[in-house]
Amino acid sequence: MQNKVFEPLTTAGKLLLGAAGALAILVGIASSPQVEAQSQSAPAVAFEAASIKESRTTDPRSISMRFLPGGRVSATAIPLRWLIAQAYGVPIGSTRLSPGPEFDAAIGFGQYDIEAVAPKGVFPAGATAAVQTQSVRRMLQTLLAERFKLVVRRETKELPVYAIVIGKNGAKLKTADVQEKDCKDDLINPDGKPCHRFNGGRGRGLHGDAVTMTDLAEEVENWSDRPIVERTGLTRLYDIQTTGWRPQDPVQLQPRPDGAPPTAEQLAFADPSTPTMFDIFEQLGLKLESQKAPVETILLISIQRPTEN
């Protein structure tokens, strides 16, 4: 999720994911459970100024979120669950984050317009994009703690995961046409070429012109019943284009309320010949292997509606 813009092509599907189920967070390994109002892995960093207004739009195409130069964040109609996931750097549809029984689901499903500005000099001289992104995320965590009164509990658990490994016949991956130095980065190099971003999704397939194995793991985890970890050791940028795949659980065709015939996606999801998530990885010369790994989970304890300004 590093330095990503939520593009319209990916928004509608992910909005459904955010509204339908739990989210998850992986921000390192904690040694014991803890309840906190903000990240304690680094000193608290706060935005110098932040405007928060509840959005009234219901059009998923209006959703956007950008990390901009200087530590500015601009979000339109961002679902709160998306904001939490972005603050902690995890896939929107991951299973690693879940709402506790006291978490206010009504507020959690809200959408907000946010404009936030970081203090001058918040980034160390020569800070890389990754360092700047982590600083912005800590500021978002502080914003959630102070303005939304978000409280979370972190706990590391040994959980079943899918590990991406190289298949027995070797990877079948196309190297991207660009190198990391040529990549567009909203924080540092806004004029470069877009990298580390996928369009599409489960129904339409994944389409990324310059993405890493870590990007692939984070993207597919949005539709997985387990966390996905990258264990190929491959570090290049790749051009990955896949077909769509069907859900892991069987899908039965249901009559549409308007009486219209099933959509092409509904038919594909119900067709047992449609590739599975595991088939997609095999086409890339990779494999999703069932393993166990320590995973940090985050339970959303409580949240409050913010005062607008």
Q: Is residue 19 part of a domain?
A: yes
In a domain, 31, yes or no: yes
Domain count, the chain: 1
Look at residue 119 in the predicted model and tell me its pLDDT.
92
Cα gap 278→226, rounded to integer Å: 13
Between 232 and 67, residue with greater pLDDT:
232
What's the confidence (pLDDT) of residue 268?
83
15 in any annotated domain: yes
* DSSP for 235-301, written as a single string: -S-EEEE------SS-------TT-PPPPHHHHHHH-TTSPPHHHHHHHTTEEEEEEEEEEEEEEEE
Say if residue 236's pLDDT is above 80: yes
pLDDT in tens, 151-166: 998 889 999 999 999 9
Looking at the domain assignment, is residue 2 inside a domain? no
- In this predicted model, what pLDDT tens digit does every residue of 44-65 receive, in sequence order? 589 999 999 999 887 888 899 8
Tell me if 309 is assigned to some domain: no
The pLDDT of residue 255: 78
Report yes or no on 119 lying in a domain. Answer: yes
Give the whole-angstrom CA distance, residue 305 versus residue 159.
33
Record the pTM: 0.74
pLDDT at residue 131, as a whole number = 82
Per-residue confidence (pLDDT) for residue 26, from 0 to 100: 25
Residue 194 belongs to domain spanning:
8-302
| pLDDT tens readout for residues 5-48 | 333 333 334 444 433 332 222 222 222 334 444 434 445 589 99
Structural domain contains residue 308: no
Least confident of 116-120, 178-182, 221-225, 255-259: 255-259
* CA 125 vs CA 69, 213, 261, 273, 288: distances in Å: 14, 29, 59, 54, 40
Percent of residues, the chain, with pLDDT higher than 90:
43
Higher pLDDT, 253 or 160: 160
Asked if residue 177 lies in contact with residue 210, where contact means CB atoms within 8 angstroms, the answer is yes
More reliable by pLDDT, 180 or 161: 161
The one-character DSSP state at 169 is T
Q: 9-34 b/e with 16+ CB inside 10 Å = b?
A: ebbebbbebbeeebbbbbbeebeeee
Provide the mean pLDDT of the chain: 81
Q: How many helices (H) and strands (E) does the chain have?
A: 7, 15
Residues 128-139 have pLDDT tens digits of 777 888 899 999
Residue 30 lies in a domain: yes
